[in-house]
Amino acid sequence: MDGNIVKNQKALQIIKETEFCYVVWSLDSNEVIKVIPLSKNSTIEERILALAADSESGSHIMGRFIDPASITLADLEAEQAETRKIDKRRTIFLSWAHQPVDSLVKTLICQEFREPMDSFHGSDYIIEILYDFHSEQLTATHIDALAEFARSPAADQFMMSVRQKLECYLTAIRGDALAFMEVWRHHHEHIVISVWEDMMKAAGDLRISDPEIIAELISAISRGVFFNPKVVAMTALGKIGQPAGEAAALAIEQNIYDSSEYLKEFRHRVIDRIRSRDDTWVKCPKCLRGVVNPEESHSCLTCLGLALVRKSG
Ligand SMILES: [Zn+2]
């Protein structure tokens, strides 16, 4: 018998024993790794907490809320097929990191994506790769073409988020803090939620010292529920450094716990950066924006993601 069928049957059994649940699949092994039981009448807040717990179990996962009354084995198999598709997309994503900038720009602008990649996942990935790894190789022609694409009318909510994301990163690529503030103010009222993390990231890279933005970053740390946006906000405040102020350092101390050795070290580094003079830090020699080749890890181990290191000597 196929090993996956046994696993799915077992997962189904566990799911059926709950009133309602949140199920997590591993994208590495393509199987259910966790079933978080929830009460049938669970509130939105309780469901968000389940999602937040899940966001700490790593990034190679997929999760779904499931009603045990209606779930079948076929449904679980269909979800498993989806994890394989995601896995294939990830392989493509990793290979894209080595593609020439020219071809990445063209694929994004012409929206030419082949299965299992689609416009939804492909556009996001390309924008991130261009920003994290290739922004120094982008020519004025590339930037103009990307800016035109970002300004063109969006057909739906998703393309709107792609355009907002690109528009915000282009301001950071150009090092144009004033343009960033304009984009931020323009989109602030109706920003697509998924773009909020990109805005925080760009604000950090541009070292925006505007009090309103710093207050938003601090609020993301002290009031946020999800783990990832908190880390993005903390990274941005660390990049901004001294202008982020003592309130930022305190918010980090009070709200980011030592849930792993890495996080403990990173938290320490960010607070040190905020509480020290800016001229005691220099650009990290190992990375561009704090992230290294996606095949290795997410954060640069030299600067822990800050793109800045303490001046030696
Ligand atoms: Zn680095």
- pTM above the 0.85 mark? no
Sign (positive or negative) of CA dihedral 79, 84, 89, 94 = positive
Q: What is the pLDDT of residue 299?
A: 84
Q: What is the pLDDT of residue 1?
A: 41
Domain boundaries, the chain: 3-86, 97-192, 207-313
Q: What is the pLDDT of residue 178?
A: 96
- Expressed in angstroms and rounded, the spacing between residue 25 Cα and the centre of ligand 1 is 31
- Expressed in angstroms and rounded, the spacing between residue 309 Cα and the centre of ligand 1 is 8
Q: Give the tens place of pLDDT for each residue, 276-304.
A: 999 999 999 999 999 887 665 578 889 99
- Expressed in angstroms and rounded, the spacing between residue 52 Cα and the centre of ligand 1 is 28
- Expressed in angstroms and rounded, the spacing between residue 310 Cα and the centre of ligand 1 is 11
Q: What is the pLDDT of residue 95?
A: 81
pLDDT in tens, the chain (313 residues): 445 556 889 999 999 999 999 888 887 788 898 898 888 887 777 777 777 766 655 667 888 888 999 899 999 988 888 888 888 887 888 788 788 999 999 999 999 888 888 888 889 889 998 999 899 999 999 999 999 999 998 888 888 889 999 999 999 999 999 999 999 888 776 666 678 899 999 999 999 999 999 999 999 999 877 788 899 999 999 999 999 999 999 999 999 887 788 889 999 999 999 999 999 999 999 999 998 876 655 788 899 999 999 998 6
- Expressed in angstroms and rounded, the spacing between residue 281 Cα and the centre of ligand 1 is 12
Q: What is the pLDDT of residue 234?
A: 96
- Expressed in angstroms and rounded, the spacing between residue 288 Cα and the centre of ligand 1 is 7
Q: What is the pLDDT of residue 86?
A: 80
